[in-house]
Structure 1
Amino acid sequence: MKWADVYHAYQVIKAHGIPDENIVVMHYDDIAQHPNNPDKGIVVNRVGGPDVYKGVPKHYIGKEVTPQNFLKVLQGDATLKAQGKKVIESGPNDRVFVYLDDHGADEIVAFPNGDLLHAKDLNQAFKDMNTKKQFNHLVFYLAACEAGSMFAKLLPNDINVYAVSATKPDELGWKANSEWKKYNTWLAVYFAVTWLENSETADLTKESVETQFQYIKERNNFTMDGELHWQHAQEYGDLTIANKAHVSEYMGDKKVQFDAATVAPTGFSLSRDAAINIVRKQIETTDDFAAKQQ
């Protein structure tokens, strides 16, 4: 349900006042009408939560969701624009916020269809954008296993880029918000739950980016089966950005009251174990012998 995190992020950013003309969304778009979705056309990101899919743009969907297009969108690629596709046309006075949510491993983020975004390519894009003065500052949030490996020892601290990773370079991420009665899956990744909760409840005009990072860092732990588990958020690049800038400068300054913003996450799983845990749960909850065997 990683796309549900992206949908939720869109709703939060939009509600805080960032206009659609300044937003580009990439998502595979396979959840809302999926055969296993009992509520066709609706996607939720927390148990009992609102529909986060309604109104989400379809700038890049399906086979268009590739690392190549992602980097081109970031860099305002003229060829994509000429094809009628939306790209980020930012300049030297602009602040850019990017949220990427997918599977990861050592120095890679896995896009759909087996495509891989490599750390060296992402960091080179940052360097090129800085040289071309395509932003004043850029803040990048990454939710993935081993997310820190995309920036550690690779992201310079002098190109006006600040990055937050959900995990350390060698650490697996966690899914959260399991829902078995209706959806039979996890509805979110834990990193998304945490930063979106903060963005829904804090006064973003007064909260620094560093304060949000500390919020994420401090809450990235939970108890499961009597044991304390941690997911260690990291920060990289130009750390002065986080101390000087308010979250509202990247996510909007409109104050809004969100529904169910403080519902505590429940039901966790290591991201890489999620598929097998779903099958295990199906075995546990059915009395049909044939179904168990299948």
Structure 2
Amino acid sequence: MKRASNFFNSLLIIIFLLLFSCSDDNNIATDSPEVISNREVKIAVVLKKGDRQERVQRILDMARENITMARGGVVPSYEYYDEDTTALASLAVELATRQDIAAVVGCYDDQHTKTLAYECAKTDKTMFTFNTSQELARIFGQHGNYWGLSESDITQCEILLSLMADGGVQFDVALLACDNDYGQTFVDWFAFQAAEMGLNPVGLATYKDKSEIPDAYLKACANNPILTLCVPNNAEEASIMYECTKMDNFSHFSVPFFTDRAYEPAMLKNEGLVGLNLVADPASGFGVVYKSRFGEAPIHGDAELYDAIMLTCLASRYDEVHNLDNLNYAVGTLLYYHSDSQGGWMSGNMKQAFETIAEGGVPEVSGAVGKLDFDPKNYTLITHSTYDFWMVYEGQFLSLNYMKRSEDEHSSSPIVSWEWNKTYQQQFDEHMSDIGYPALTGNKAVIIAGSGGWENYRFQADALEYYQMLRNSGYSDDDIILIMADDLAQNANNPEKGVVRRSVDGDNLYKNVVVDYRLEDITYNDLAVIFSGKADAAHPEVLDSGAGDNVLFFWSSHGTQAGLALGDIDLVSGKQMARILQKMSDEQRFRKMMWIVEACYSGGVAKECEGIPGLLVMTAANANESSKADLWYAPYNVYLTNRFTSSIISRLYSDPATSLRDLYNVAFTGTLGSHVTIYNADNYGNLYQNTMREFLGK
């Protein structure tokens, strides 16, 4: 993590900026030439009112005052809506289609932001947000109109874990998180990042209601972690968590580290509490000026809102000078040239920026949050936010350090926080003696998409891709058992009836598909019959494999630490699958079996199946991690595929004879946010010598 300069130098910089900002706002702009008129740039602000309204109004007034003083020919005007009380769905449509609205800023809440972003994406309406949801950043961050002024909470999770790992000791760590969109980011990334940093994740628990926190804490800390990452939804929940750390149920005290939502005055009674909070870069001077003017420190959202207004006005002027009629292009142009200076949000520096634009140039722009480092060619998201590592000391929040995401090769990407350069990889013995098998006489396959519904589109699309790949490899339909909900092709949400795709311009994967069993008709007991090979009236299609058959088994669904989803209610555990596959092995009903599992926490199921001869399992994630979706498609409002499956399918199409070791390497490197893992290799054979050709061609 990047750390701030020493205290003395930082203090000098802040004092200088404070003095500069005062003189700047009071003197510099008034010396500029008169501008006859200011064109109004209308901005829709969709944020909370209530106890946040005064703060929001402060920033709106402050930004308008400074931009007016900068005399750039434009001035912001606002329409301010309460995201909690407004009919947001209809408002989003209205704002996205109104020609007089230059840009939209919002929201605090994840679902509100998604509603707004979805409509703005349809019309390319410029939208600024400081929402930290990883899912929204991934969905909308490549549309070219969604400008994220805060990094996602993937980075907050990374920095907190880096603090836990600072001593270089492999501590046992746990996660306790609220069960909502905010907490989900930490659930998705905690175990993966912990492993990458040399920590040992030993517990994870979530809760839906504050009454569930004590039990969830006991579950998370059942294995006595040294450190616990606490992710409350608000200060009240944070207080309950902190009280839980005093329980006398464990052999030692687990030190809690709190996320930004614990940064509230109500937590000041908890002496010694530590946590992280998003802040403006101290070097920008915004925090000093704000506190001097309003008597309190800014909070997350204040500097970001200011920058959204400033960027909209600068871009609007650039758009006007160059006759672009494309505000997003103008924003991207301004942010493409990184500024090494700070204080660009002040009126004197904005005046210079407007003058450069008027002369046909592109100014260097920095903001209230600090340097506005973007990479618009890839993502319209800020690449580095600043975090305050704080401690409650003598009833006050004491800043211990200012931190940013690392740019070294062993951390997350310098572009976006979810593109990690992973290092924690399995190694296999290239010289291992291979296992002797009988001659290959046939190929069979079982394909299961265990989650249905339009919102789970990707699981069935991936299953259908495997089906089509196998059919093109020579499998007949009789060789394949296909189990899925089969509710996509004619779904009311499907604009292309009868069509299912895994890529935007991809083939129709539903063509000539024969579904053997609908998901709603299948339970674990039905699976046991199907894998037994003994057909009956209720199960006419079964896996009738023999001692010379290779079986390719693909399962794609949601997953939990308890098992793999089979429909909306049922979970199939690792022990249950181990019983089925062990029985097949005992009866010599396969030569080799390759089981590929695309599900969260899939490693837990695979681990239960170790020891079965001839079985190799490759999972999208280990027992503690979630797997990640891939390729959001706005017209369908769904993800089309999963990243792990995309990596594997791409390799198999390009090289059907790839070795299992190379397939693992490709999947490992291509899969984001989880560790692709192989199980039971010792009971399968040499992964350098065994290839996928045995499963993809007769």
Q: In structure 1, the residue corresponding to 2:582 is in which secondary structure? A: helix
Answer yes or no: is the 8 Å Cα contact 1:110–1:117 preserved in 2.
yes
Which amino acid letter does the alignment assign opposite residue 549 of structure 2?
D
1:38-187 to structure 2, matched below 5 A, reads 38-79=495-536, 82-83=537-538, 85-152=540-607, 154-180=608-634, 182-187=635-640
Deviating beyond 3 angstroms after TM superposition, the runs of 4 or more aligned structure 1 residues are: 241-244
Q: In structure 1, the residue corresponding to 2:559 is in which secondary structure? A: strand
Match of 1:236 in 2: 679
Which amino acid letter does the alignment assign opposite residue 627 of structure 2?
G
Write the deviation string for residues 168-188 of structure 1: whole angstroms up to 9, x where unpaired.
1010111111011x2111111
Match of 2:695 in 1: 250
Which amino acid letter does the alignment assign opposite residue 102 of structure 1?
S
| Structure 1: unaligned runs, 5 residues or longer | 222-229, 254-294
Q: In structure 2, the residue corresponding to 1:30 is in which secondary structure? A: coil
Cα drift, residue 84 of structure 1: 5.8
Write the deviation string for residues 90-135 of structure 1: whole angstroms up to 9, x where unpaired.
1111111100000101140011131111110101111111111111
Computed over aligned residues only, the root mean square deviation of the Cα atoms, in angstroms, reads: 1.6
Write the deviation string for residues 157-211 of structure 1: whole angstroms up to 9, x where unpaired.
352111000001010111111011x211111111111111111111x23x22222
Structure 1 residues 214 and 239: alpha-carbon distance in aligned structure 2, compared to 1, 3 A threshold: farther
Match of 1:211 in 2: 662
Q: Percent identity?
A: 23
* Whole-angstrom distance in 2 between the partners of 1:209 and 1:17: 21
Structure 2 residue 641 is matched with structure 1 residue 196: no
Match of 2:671 in 1: 220
Which amino acid letter does the alignment assign opposite residue 184 of structure 1?
N
Structure 1 residues 21 and 6: alpha-carbon distance in aligned structure 2, compared to 1, 3 A threshold: same
Answer yes or no: is the 8 Å Cα contact 1:166–1:232 preserved in 2.
yes
Q: In structure 1, the residue corresponding to 2:481 is in which secondary structure? A: coil
Structure 1 residues 108 and 158: alpha-carbon distance in aligned structure 2, compared to 1, 3 A threshold: closer
Which amino acid letter does the alignment assign opposite residue 135 of structure 1?
F
Q: In structure 1, the residue corresponding to 2:630 is in which secondary structure? A: strand
User: Looking at both structures, which has the greater relative contact order when contacts are Cα pairs under 8 Å and sequence separation is at least 6?
Assistant: 1
Structure 2 residue 495 is matched with structure 1 residue 4: no
Answer yes or no: is the 8 Å Cα contact 1:162–1:242 preserved in 2.
no
Q: What TM-score, normalized by structure 1, do the two folds share?
A: 0.77
Q: In structure 2, the residue corresponding to 1:100 is in which secondary structure? A: strand
Write the deviation string for residues 48-68 of structure 1: whole angstroms up to 9, x where unpaired.
211111111111114223333
* Whole-angstrom distance in 2 between the partners of 1:189 and 1:158: 28
* Whole-angstrom distance in 1 between the partners of 2:481 and 2:575: 23
Answer yes or no: is the 8 Å Cα contact 1:27–1:65 preserved in 2.
no
* Whole-angstrom distance in 2 between the partners of 1:116 and 1:167: 17
Structure 1 residues 32 and 18: alpha-carbon distance in aligned structure 2, compared to 1, 3 A threshold: same
| Structure 2: unaligned runs, 5 residues or longer | 1-456
Answer yes or no: is the 8 Å Cα contact 2:499–2:509 preserved in 1.
yes
Structure with higher Rg: it is 2
Which amino acid letter does the alignment assign opposite residue 250 of structure 1?
F
Cα drift, residue 16 of structure 1: 1.6
Q: In structure 1, the residue corresponding to 2:584 is in which secondary structure? A: helix
* Whole-angstrom distance in 1 between the partners of 2:475 and 2:690: 17
Answer yes or no: is the 8 Å Cα contact 1:157–1:239 preserved in 2.
no
